Structure 1
Amino acid sequence: MKKIFSLLTVMMAFILLTGFTSGKDDLKEKVFVGEVDGMEIELTYYYKGDQVLKQKTVNKLTYESLGVEDEEGAREILDPISETMQDTEGLKEKLDYKDDHVIETVELDFEKGDINELAEVANLETEGDLDEGISMKKSEEFLLEQGFKEKK
């Protein structure tokens, strides 16, 4: 169970690398793709200057990677975790069950929600002072070091 919870939150840990310089640029977008422990991950960052304002993650988890045989087994594990993420301002989380896998979509809006509350609800590991914001540059460097590729 601990490994499964780690799979669900590992992608979230990537976003909370703090420290930024504000900028007046228009909202920009960067997308990264990678795989962690059999889970395909696509991370989309929305940012201005070096400040991440929003982040969307789409995870594809096979039932096999969850250690279950079917949707029912996956629901027993994932639905309770999903329920803990509902009703948090700035956080949207949805599960879409398929024949042999589940697609989890997590959207974080750091302008609408309290960054510290979002980190707590999503059980995120963080680095630095969250009150300083999330650095796009540091997040990108970390993801590339972890083997993620930027999707152009």
Structure 2
Amino acid sequence: MKRSILAIAMLIAGIFLLAACDKEQSKTYEGDLQGAEVITTLTYKGDKVIKQSSIMTIDYDTNGVSKSDAKKILNKQEKIFKGVEGVTYKKEIKKDKAIQKVDIDYETGNVKKMTKKLGITGPAKGEDYVNVKDVERAMKKAGFEEKKPLKDND
């Protein structure tokens, strides 16, 4: 009898553990990339990155970059990102700053080709997905810090 109860309890615990692994989660990182402010959000299930969204802001005064130079920089970036399956690229050239938004959907297209073309963290050898721990390690190595989520009582 005790073994039956223990077996049922283990089964229920396993189901909850599996359900938690399938839950979509996200982490946001902030950092400075050659003077530009970058915010990146990783969306993942278990250890598999599903999406990566980044916003880069170049403030002309803060960065010492002219509006035309910022436009040239983003035009080069656009050539890299445009036309890649699974990638959405947008840019805005404003009076005081330039903004670049890049969304990468890892569930669309060939992940290995996509990550190689974009020069970002790709799948580990023998894997067909991007591991969240590998991306986090690369982000931290580049000087990015995890931004803690806001809480209701803060």
TM-score (norm 2): 0.69
C-alpha deviation, 1:127, in angstroms:
7.3
Instruction: Report the counterpart of residue 42 of structure 1 in structure 2.
Output: 39
Moved more, 138-147 or 86-95: 138-147
1:95-128 Cα distance to aligned partner (Å, 9 max, x none): 1112232111111101012112212432336574
The verdict on how the C-alpha distance between 1:127 and 1:47 changes in structure 2, with shifts beyond 3 A counting, is: closer
Gaps of 5+ in 2: 1-19, 150-154
Aligned ranges 1:8-87 → 2 under 5 Å: 24-63=21-60, 68-70=65-67, 72-87=68-83
Moved more, 54-63 or 80-89: 80-89
C-alpha deviation, 1:65, in angstroms:
7.6
Separation of aligned partners in 1, 2:45 and 2:122: 21
Contact kept? 1:116, 1:130, Cα under 8 Å: no
Separation of aligned partners in 2, 1:91 and 1:78: 15
Separation of aligned partners in 2, 1:75 and 1:145: 28
TM-score (norm 1): 0.69
Separation of aligned partners in 2, 1:81 and 1:144: 22
Q: Which has the larger radius of gyration?
A: 2
The Cα RMSD (Å) is 2.7
The 3-state SS of whatever aligns with 1:78 is helix
Higher relative contact order (CA 8 A, sep 6+): 1
Separation of aligned partners in 1, 2:118 and 2:108: 15
Separation of aligned partners in 1, 2:119 and 2:38: 18
The verdict on how the C-alpha distance between 1:76 and 1:28 changes in structure 2, with shifts beyond 3 A counting, is: same
Separation of aligned partners in 2, 1:40 and 1:86: 22
Aligned ranges 1:109-120 → 2 under 5 Å: 109-120=105-116
Gaps of 5+ in 1: 1-22
> Identity of aligned pairs, percent?
27
The verdict on how the C-alpha distance between 1:147 and 1:123 changes in structure 2, with shifts beyond 3 A counting, is: closer
